[in-house]
Structure 1
């Protein structure tokens, strides 16, 4: 009985100690922090499930540009395919030109001091002849959303509806740095985006995604095929998303020959030379109008540029399996020059070729860069970049905007909610493209991760998961672009290693190409691919404002070696890579897994050695954005 009582007391005492340890452990950092269980639509492995579906919208558009009044008139026909498992009693569309009114939500939520997303307020849609399947339709417009009521519900699993309407609006000068018009010496440049009513996404996560268009949040749209025509005065050139269908109808014979030559050469070739702009040589007519006809398949949007001031050049893009595409640039004489837009096509070609070879094949036949009064904005196969940009600035914005063809044009994430899934991922791949271009002519410093530390120490910092329309505009560059990109660099270079990460990242792109992933899909896919629980990293870096701070607290000499004392001073755990330098000048590496922090914030590592330790340093290569470098190093006292 005494022995049994003693065993009970010992066991109880041990359990008490373990219980105390359990109260202080860090297991919660490693647990799931959001719903990530699979279902029939989205698997727990981060892939589309066996019953994954998404709806489709095909567009036929005819629009006319009226430079004398800066207006657009047009008509749209949308063939909508309901592939969901439920019937739809109504359909939501976006009418985003309504952002440019006095009483739009975007206008009313713009600070009095203004911001990047200012916009003219003299615009807005005028809609007429709204029909569904040929019959007049009832509809209700709420700000930038339009609800179309259906007399007959669109059946599930492949039901169809045809929506048509006519529209018109005044083109804003300042379209919130996304679209608009620019007055240059030789004419006007029109950057036309969000220029037609577009169907909202109906998905298995939210149902109808109808967040209002306020400005900072971008887009989330259905994929489909586009057939669109743009009518302009005879002396206007139009460049657009997709493939020009009627070059013989709108180009001169000389331009047509140059067009054909450009498709066969990697050297930039003029289609309209600088000295030809504004002369009879640039037009195939002397009066009247031209209609430019474009088509684009499996895309979720199209945009175009139109001007009577365009210099226009092009060059061949080399793609996989002997496929070719055409890089094009359109810009005014104010942007001309070898330090400026004369290299735009070279930049466009290099950017597309790099991403196509290294991440996923470029699916489109053209890539068009348009100079406009826009800092930088992407649309499928077409970008608007600042007409003032030169050299590194022009490379940077061109490369970034064309990188968006992979995020979110190919991988169709929800930009309006999760800006980091397109801006952050794109900023990440821009790093590698920049270092590759022309023997690193414009090198990237994104891998110098500690340059973000001043932001990480600010009390005003916000989480990456903050919606872009909510984020303080001073923080948006960090929350949407820089911090998620630095996180991916850290994950690749320090936590997983390039080979493991690159295989997983490319697999994510291929798996979700032309589909709609959610954040959980990305997290699940990466974890399943690399075979790691990364909750501790996603939670702290992507879904919080916590920081990394690993300290080498002390090094204690023992009989057979040294005891290295480590502490986790920040909230985010991290694998620990140590460089141990001995007094004889030699060094060794010590790599400890992240699991050392599961039980608490202190850890001791025994290093068996008969040498004398001179210095122990955490992250000697400075790959981790640790906020306090001062405690990374222990040095022997003389």
Structure 2
């Protein structure tokens, strides 16, 4: 999901000094951090256990877009496999279009101020016209009940554990909302409507070893938790429209004209952007002149969702994505002429290619045959192999939203954490990797001195760590709207930077972070799986770190308390006393300068705070000390930097 403007939501806390420490060493370093031991499903080391399981959902979807009435009519066949150790008497589906009903929970809980997820108008949601279950050669119509954005289907016979399979077929339709909670919708341009279609078919809710059925309703701010499988889908629409979708287009020769199909093929082998359908060609032949309807067919494997875009207004271009294994993927961009400007959407494909090539090399190889960026009404939203970004974006903003949405390929499309509960595990982790990608793209072309990421910016620190900020371990729909940009995006990103830069170091952090992705690729990790992996691979007990950053809203405030010479003589050395004034412990780096220009750096581990809030250490000196500074490289997000430095004056 698109990053939220933090300037708009910041609540700056007034400056104050802390004379007395609030630190408790017994609370910070309390034992028994983990609520339970590892088990056969999830290892104590953070790996999937020997009996780890997850259910599977494969989909075949046939759909039709009615551009007169702005409706989608479809049939979905769900092949559901129960790999759990439990027999299932009923199934739960996510019917997300019901969020747009006037009587939905989301409508009832939207604040009076409205906001990004408020609906301007309403639809009838998912209108189900038929449903059937087929198992063991027998077919029947099940009883089912819809409760807001969840639909329960009762089975005649329980679906057997450890591999039981059935086919659930649903015929349904819905009206495409003009503004779909900034995750889907339609935009009217001078050359026609742009449709961005998502959350568009009933999808299986996740049944897991942690909670059984995961049934939090879709309210808007919380995102998604989905099963993996192979998805085949087709969309029939007027023949003069271009459709782009998740995965691989299976029939380009049937969809494009011969010339456009040729350019489409050329783009798959070109490192430079190839124009498949130019702005000048819209309405002047080519696909614009086609009559009747065309059915576009797509396929994606091992994915948790699919989405698509459709318009007769699309400019379409593409280029080759080079992957570390030697495989290739395809970067595509679909956008209206209104999006062409200085550093506008004509650079989108270049950005898609750059982001995905970087993440594939640094983290885990991009798993899909295509990556498509669609310009439309949605500000920024991610789906497997396709993202929706604002048609107004240009320059730094276009890079930022494109990079962020495709960064979500790794969190949560590859690492399938529960977004409905833990926004910090997808938005925050993604924000962190975006920093790395931005520094890399064209040697930092769009890298700017970040107001929010700079540890020396006291305004930022006071915003992130103020007492009214929601802690990271807060469900997204519970987080105050004004706090979402910090609690879901910025603070968890700062947490990972702090873990890398001041606790584990680059080598240990990078190895542990990559191992977490590899262990949980296409699986469902919990926060505990992440904690255990980072500790076991990184080689540290980090319970004190998670307590401060994730479970509490603790602050960092390290101060130099005093400098005393032994026997009052500088040549005999000095004892320096430092203090931890706030609740969060962190390692300490101290720079000591003597008045003759000699200086030394002392690095102290976090364990210095295990017995209390003050720590004394000796330094060898030959001359009077002119300055003692904590965190001289300014890596720490320190609440009060005014007490970081002692001077001989």
Alignment TM-score, normalising by the size of structure 1: 0.95
SS at match of 2:515: helix
Q: Which residue pairs with 1:572 in the alignment?
A: 584
Say whether the 8 Å CA contact 1:348–1:399 is kept in structure 2: yes
User: Offset of 1:44 from its aligned partner?
Assistant: 0.8
Pairing partner for 2:269 from 264, 269, 289: 264
Q: Which residue pairs with 2:166 in the alignment?
A: 161
Pairing partner for 1:215 from 220, 237, 240: 220
Q: Which residue pairs with 2:500 in the alignment?
A: 492
Q: Which residue pairs with 2:375 in the alignment?
A: 371
Alignment partners' CA distance in 1, 2:36 and 2:393: 43
Correspondence 1:604 to 2:632: no
Alignment partners' CA distance in 1, 2:465 and 2:90: 48
User: Offset of 1:36 from its aligned partner?
Assistant: 4.8
CA RMSD of aligned residues (A): 1.2
Pairing partner for 1:136 from 125, 141, 164: 141
Q: Which residue pairs with 2:390 in the alignment?
A: 386
Pairing partner for 1:404 from 389, 403, 408: 408
Alignment of 1:104-143 (within 5 A): 104-119=104-119, 120-133=121-134, 134-143=139-148
Alignment partners' CA distance in 2, 1:454 and 1:442: 26
Q: Which residue pairs with 1:542 in the alignment?
A: 550
Determine which structure has more spread, i.e. the larger CA radius of gyration: 1
Alignment partners' CA distance in 2, 1:297 and 1:421: 23
Alignment of 1:505-544 (within 5 A): 505-544=513-552
Deviations 1:523-560 (A, max 9, x none): 00000111111111111111111111111111111143
User: Offset of 1:456 from its aligned partner?
Assistant: 3.3
Q: Which residue pairs with 2:232 in the alignment?
A: 227
Say whether the 8 Å CA contact 1:35–1:520 is kept in structure 2: no
Say whether the 8 Å CA contact 2:375–2:388 is kept in structure 1: yes
Q: Which residue pairs with 1:173 in the alignment?
A: 178
Alignment partners' CA distance in 1, 2:456 and 2:642: 13
Of 442-451 and 429-438, the range deviating more from structure 2:
442-451
Pairing partner for 1:440 from 434, 444, 448: 444
Alignment partners' CA distance in 1, 2:36 and 2:580: 27
User: Offset of 1:582 from its aligned partner?
Assistant: 1.3
Gaps of 5+ in 2: 1-22
SS at match of 1:455: helix
Cα gap change, 1:367/1:286 in structure 2, threshold over 3 Å: closer, same or farther? closer
Number of equivalenced pairs? 613
User: Offset of 1:33 from its aligned partner?
Assistant: 3.8
Pairing partner for 1:313 from 295, 298, 317: 317
Correspondence 1:595 to 2:638: no
Correspondence 1:470 to 2:478: yes
SS at match of 2:227: coil
SS at match of 1:397: helix
Say whether the 8 Å CA contact 1:366–1:381 is kept in structure 2: yes
Q: Which residue pairs with 1:91 in the alignment?
A: 91
Greater RCO (Cα-Cα under 8 Å, separation 6 or more): 2
Q: Which residue pairs with 2:14 in the alignment?
A: none
Alignment partners' CA distance in 1, 2:282 and 2:102: 38
Alignment of 1:236-251 (within 5 A): 236-251=241-256
Deviations 1:159-186 (A, max 9, x none): 0111011010110001000000000110
Of 552-561 and 174-183, the range deviating more from structure 2:
552-561
Gaps of 5+ in 1: 1-23
SS at match of 1:449: coil
Q: Which residue pairs with 2:629 in the alignment?
A: 617
Correspondence 1:148 to 2:153: yes
User: Offset of 1:34 from its aligned partner?
Assistant: 4.4
Q: Which residue pairs with 2:13 in the alignment?
A: none
Q: Which residue pairs with 1:61 in the alignment?
A: 61
Alignment partners' CA distance in 2, 1:57 and 1:359: 26
Deviations 1:389-418 (A, max 9, x none): 000000000000000000000000000100
Q: Which residue pairs with 1:299 in the alignment?
A: 303
Q: Which residue pairs with 1:26 in the alignment?
A: 25
Alignment partners' CA distance in 2, 1:50 and 1:566: 47
Of 553-562 and 627-636, the range deviating more from structure 2:
553-562
SS at match of 1:320: coil
Correspondence 1:280 to 2:285: yes
Q: Which residue pairs with 2:12 in the alignment?
A: none
Q: Which residue pairs with 2:15 in the alignment?
A: none
Cα gap change, 1:487/1:281 in structure 2, threshold over 3 Å: closer, same or farther? same
Say whether the 8 Å CA contact 2:464–2:486 is kept in structure 1: no
Alignment partners' CA distance in 2, 1:192 and 1:70: 11
User: Offset of 1:368 from its aligned partner?
Assistant: 0.1
User: Offset of 1:636 from its aligned partner?
Assistant: 0.6
Cα gap change, 1:631/1:457 in structure 2, threshold over 3 Å: closer, same or farther? same
Say whether the 8 Å CA contact 1:449–1:490 is kept in structure 2: no
User: Offset of 1:271 from its aligned partner?
Assistant: 0.8
Alignment partners' CA distance in 2, 1:548 and 1:56: 44
Say whether the 8 Å CA contact 2:225–2:416 is kept in structure 1: yes
